[in-house]
Structure 1
């Protein structure tokens, strides 16, 4: 049977009419028997499967506030680290109680609501290099494994190049075509206006899709051809699912519209397969359902947001820079091996690309971007 494709370009932002049409496809009385692809759960039971109405009024419960004494301890650890070349919990030592609070951030990300915010730093007090070290040092106590954030698999910390900075709204996604277990975002400057972070439970999304549109689950679990928008000799298109199994009680979303639609001047290669009608419906379903069950997390200068990028989708409102304040956010990909979820197949390959060795002898060497340099934009991933 022929696969139905769409000849016209699929927009990154679906229209209001598309949204109305989508909600009309949701049955008012879903069938009692849920049919999902073999091996997938019919329903995920987990604190990660939250509803926005249940947690929006208590976001402060997911914050870790650094008091004055904590900041002194962090700055002391920064001073101790300067005698070393590799950041770890040993070279960035913190008092036991503070270290335990940061470890609880990891537990919240993997087994709680899937996100937490560490507040209390003042980035304006530190140099660019010191801010990177502070971020990495605190992150090491949350999740000790660091992932590569660039396509060359060299850089462990990303200062997004100006060309990659998206000022408009972004759709809900789980990062790039391969991404993190835990994503860390350190807000150095928040800009003049807007830029609020939106979060939505992927587990809750999965449950709704399994209950009302199991055909979408099936489509998401099948391979998709994703454009890399790079030199195909170095970075050929990927053929991976957007939805992966993780044991018998978890799923992992690896979702983003832009490799299928293009975004911000990036045009999907017309030689690649045209998105099918089922794929467009699946992308729209993710966007509309995620937005309907989303919360806004206010962030300001000095906040470090940790997000389970496997189970929580994120988006961002548009923002505007001021004359004296330009939005500046550092990003890291993190992993706690003691809490990591089991994966196989393409998801395992993606994980190894990020967290595995990058040298022929099995070693791992990291570079750190503290300032933008020409050429970084070629290797930097694109969000959306």
Structure 2
């Protein structure tokens, strides 16, 4: 059982989640502790490690802890990972001077930090280890994923233990990040509608958005809340759940109770004071623990100059010290082995790093 999750149970299902993981935005909005500023010495060590990596000639997709050496920073990165997985579940690292770096150097430092947390996972069917979150003119209604658009993102989780976002350029207007504790969400749901607890733990068919592993259906089935070996985990993206209902007649139909669960989730997440809002600045890195954090963003509007368009880089990370997951997660995550799970692998996928969209 994690230090951040002291559990009281009702039968085999948790009755209430206590600890630092079950926070509400109104209680920590003004707290400075979730924003961690890099020191000059730490930045210098990161730059030295990036210069070392560049001399090795190794491709970015093959970056390792040995090829990106940060001996002094190792305890700091371990502390960040501990806060993610056993504390509040998120952290903002602020102050990287990316305006002084090339995209290659920024990507190297970002991926190097991530690699010291765990293995890096493909975040799309193309095998990209470094995802580009920017408006590509794509349409969600045409099957695109939200990160390729400028549209508001509903609260959701990603298919990896840890997700990171590095801000290269912020939007002219909008694009603020909102996060919420799915542990606090669960507490509210149990308090308001205990009759819906069984429906929270039943499978919800979810659209894969065309990124279908070999031998799998174009949807996967997983509960929104999952209780396994003393850990409560959340998996949610309502739009893709509803898309599975409309696109795939063979997908199991949602029950009335399951729809009520999603309605209640969405209502609580919109309540003032429940989520935490933050605005990205260039050089910020936001890390989230997907099992206990939901995230979203506002619509955004870009500057007219293409080079000033909102641009974030995404990492999906699998730490070897991650929590155990039930076997059915493998339907989406490929495996449930800590350090070797999560990401999207389809036939023909070759892992790579693309530095331009």
With the length of structure 2 as denominator, give the TM-score of the two structures: 0.81
Distance 1:353 1:156, change over 3 A: farther
Partner of 2:97: 122
Structure 2 distance, partners of 1:299, 1:281, is: 33
SS in 2 for 1:367: coil
Report the CA distance between 1:294 and its aligned residue: 0.5
Partner of 1:22: none
Q: Is the 8 A contact 1:168 1:318 kept in 2?
A: yes
Deviations 1:219-268 (A, max 9, x none): 121112222232779662212222211322x2111100111234xxx993
Deviations 1:44-65 (A, max 9, x none): 122101122221110x212221
Report the CA distance between 1:367 and its aligned residue: 1.5
Structure 2 residue runs of 5 or longer lacking an equivalent are: 1-7, 139-144, 344-348
Report the CA distance between 1:76 and its aligned residue: 0.9
Match of 1:256 among 214, 217, 237: 237
SS in 1 for 2:166: strand
Partner of 1:225: 205
Q: Is 188-197 or 274-283 further displaced after alignment? A: 274-283
Partner of 1:210: 190
Partner of 1:320: 301
Deviations 1:176-206 (A, max 9, x none): xxx1111111111111111111111111111
Greater percentage in strand: 2
Deviations 1:9-56 (A, max 9, x none): xxxxxxxxxxxxxxxxxxxxxxxxx996x5211111221011222211
Partner of 1:173: 156
Match of 2:169 among 189, 192, 205: 189
Partner of 2:312: 329
> How many equivalent residue pairs?
321
Partner of 1:148: 122
Deviations 1:159-186 (A, max 9, x none): 24712423232221113xxx11111111
Match of 1:89 among 65, 71, 74: 65
Matched, 1:342 2:321: no
Distance 1:369 1:220, change over 3 A: farther
Structure 1 distance, partners of 2:211, 2:333, is: 22
Distance 1:126 1:225, change over 3 A: same
Structure 1 distance, partners of 2:327, 2:118, is: 24
Partner of 2:113: 138
Structure 1 distance, partners of 2:291, 2:182, is: 8
Partner of 2:260: 281
Matched, 1:239 2:244: no
Report the CA distance between 1:323 and its aligned residue: 2.0
Structure 2 distance, partners of 1:144, 1:345, is: 21
Q: Is the 8 A contact 1:201 1:290 kept in 2?
A: no
SS in 1 for 2:304: coil
Structure 1 distance, partners of 2:184, 2:239, is: 23
Q: Is the 8 A contact 2:333 2:342 kept in 1?
A: no
Matched, 1:47 2:20: yes
SS in 2 for 1:333: strand
Structure 2 distance, partners of 1:231, 1:329, is: 22
Structure 1 residue runs of 5 or longer lacking an equivalent are: 1-33, 359-363, 373-384
SS in 2 for 1:88: coil
- Of structures 1 and 2, the larger Rg is shown by 1
With the length of structure 1 as denominator, give the TM-score of the two structures: 0.76
Structure 2 distance, partners of 1:337, 1:231, is: 25
Distance 1:320 1:203, change over 3 A: same
Structure 2 distance, partners of 1:268, 1:123, is: 43
Distance 1:281 1:109, change over 3 A: same
